[in-house]
Amino acid sequence: MRRYVLPCFALLGFAALAHAQEPVKPAFGHSMQGEAFNEGPRQKAVLMKGIPKIEFPTSTKNKQAQKFFEQGVAQIHAYWYFESERSFRQAADLDPEFAMAYWGMARANVNNRTRAKGFAEKAVEKRKNASKREQGYIDAISLFANGKNDEYIAALRKLVADNPLDIEATAQLAHELQERAFDKPRQDEVERLAQEVLATNPMHPIHHYRIHLWDKPNNENALDSAHKSGLSQQASAHMWHMEGHIYTQLKRYSDAAVSQEASARVDHAHMGRVQIIPDQIFNYAHNNQWLSESFQFTGQPQKALEVARNLVANPRHPKLNTLSGFSGSASQGLPRLVETLERYELWEAALSEKIESVPSKSDGEKNRLRLLGCAAYATGKRALGQQYLDELTKLKSSEKAVAAVQCYAALGENNTAEASKQLDAAGLPKEREALLRLQLGETEKALTLARDAAKSRANQVLPQATLVRVLHAAGKLDEAKAELEKLRPLAARAELDTPLLAALAPIAQQCGVSSSADWRGALPADPLALPRPKIESLGPLSWMPPTAPGLSLKDGNGKKISLKDYAGKPVLVLFFLGSACDKCMEQVNAFAAESDGFKKAGIEIVAVSLDPQEQVKKMKAMPFPILANPDLKTFKSWKAFDDFEDMALHGTFLVDATGKLRWMDTGFAPFTDAKFVLGEAQRLLKLTNTNFIMAPVSN
């Protein structure tokens, strides 16, 4: 199965959407429509640029509702389910009797049948307003929502047969079959359906489904769709990311890097528009760690490090992004940071980098200590190297990592016999071992390793560059020149000031390949590739914290307090739903208990209540001001607000000294872990740049 589950869709259940005869008032911040709506989209949708035009006629008479509906369908094709549901909710908001809007909400919840069932029931309730064709869609999704997968496929087949000109019905069937394409006949059927859609609309986002269909094996079958996926829906990061899958499988690493960079930039642009932190985005960390690795493969270690550092620096959240987790920015970025520094032997940079220890992850801790131990011995810092070696030996199953560090320790003492012995046991990547063997005078071993590395990791810059260096050192100049010619187009974007690559400049000159220090070649042209937008136009490479909205309100005594009053100071802003909200008061009291810690850290606290000024005045005194916002305008401007239900939400925001939002949490429940917020605020505020590229600091 290739479906993806958003963390925010892990819901407890779906309350009926129809009004009960005696409605029970939900808890503060909870949706009036049922618990399922609590973690769904709660801010209004906008018509986005970069969304393809989808032709999907419906019965609604509201033209704007139709536009949002078709946008939602396009977003479904990109697996952009959260934004898709937002678009369908906007359509339903514009036309409450729009049955197909609820079909769309159900279809956007293929990863949560409980929610899908509730939406499908609402669609059935309004089915009488729909055309016969639309009723076919509604009946089909009802089968899916009730767990009847085979009947769902049969219903989609009938829908296609009854509406042969409806390419969206064909696309829906293709998706469902692609999810179950486990044999060649099924693959062939999905391919035939996809081609029927593309015959009508060559840039239909069904290219995404074709990529999943052929993403191992037979990757080359999807190359045409890889050229078009991102272009078919430029606003969706996942569409760019998936074409990178095919390029990577085909060892077209420069193309993969461009696709993954486009994915990262599009995500960051979207975050700026909707005011969220990175790990609220589906697959964000996965996309960016892939980008970092792609930069490694193309000889761009500094760009790889930039991406990895951004991931490690991104705002952390106990539900979304922790060092000890598996799918968040920190846990995905830290291994890429260590890997890049070690792979490119950036020893001084490694020693000046702040690389966090994660004791709960033994493999990661071994890799960190191996990097630092090798770096210390390689730069002559033997006492420091011994410290890391001592730590490393305490870890279980660390024999290979210990041998790697001891190899460098022996090299520092010119003990070649011991270095060779330790190298035998170190299990290092072949290209790295090849250079060490060359340093030890073991030329034949170095040649074998370098050739094996270049073959097993074909089209990657570093193994190919190592082969050139080893061949040249072995006096095989003609072969070195031939391999250098292979390297040049692969290294078209390589960073020539990287020590391992700078060593090739004199070799290129001696071989007559280049008379200058720039020996790189040009990327090979692909006649089938389509023109792409300038990569910088898609968005920033790293997350850019947005500027905090304004805030100017009165406290219980009528004193006006503004965010400008705290200019040059970081401020924590709490939005809560009034003194009658018990959970809210738990939050306020929790932060009051930690107020001394925030004050010592130089962080001010301001709370904003939806209570009127008279009620705020009655509240017990707190060690920070509480401001009144009964008209909810400030709640709205900070997006601590449900646009669909016109109600306030809980919100916690960290504003830095420059007025940027560095951390935030909004939703149906208040964030009450004041100690976590304090610790994370201190970490974030130590970062030197608001674009989150971390400056190295001493270990």
User: Residues with catalytic annotation?
Assistant: 584
Query: DSSP string of 310-374?
Result: HHHHSPPBTTTB-TTSSSSHHHHHHHHHHHHHHHTT-HHHHHHS-----TT-HHHHHHHHHHHHH
- Asked if residue 388 lies in contact with residue 354, where contact means CB atoms within 8 angstroms, the answer is no
- Asked if residue 640 lies in contact with residue 648, where contact means CB atoms within 8 angstroms, the answer is yes
- Asked if residue 627 lies in contact with residue 553, where contact means CB atoms within 8 angstroms, the answer is yes
Which burial class, exposed, middle or buried, applies to 199 when counting CB atoms under 10 A from its CB (0-12, 13-18, 19+)?
A: exposed
- Among residues 128, 158, 141, 142, the alpha carbon closest in space to that of 59 is found at 128
Q: 3-state DSSP helix/strand/coil percent for the chain, to nearest 5?
A: 55, 5, 40
Main-chain dihedrals φ then ψ at residue 166, nearest 5 degrees: -90, 95
Query: DSSP string of 536-598?
Result: GGG--SS--PPBPPP-EEEETTS-EEEGGGGTTS-EEEEEE--TT-HHHHHHHHHHHHTHHHH
Dist. CA 339–CA 332, nearest whole Å: 11
- Among residues 387, 374, 355, the alpha carbon closest in space to that of 697 is found at 355
Dist. CA 516–CA 488, nearest whole Å: 13
Give the three-state DSSP class for 172: helix
Cβ neighbours for 468, distance < 8 A, ≥ 6 positions apart: 480, 483, 484, 487, 504, 507
- Asked if residue 205 lies in contact with residue 74, where contact means CB atoms within 8 angstroms, the answer is yes
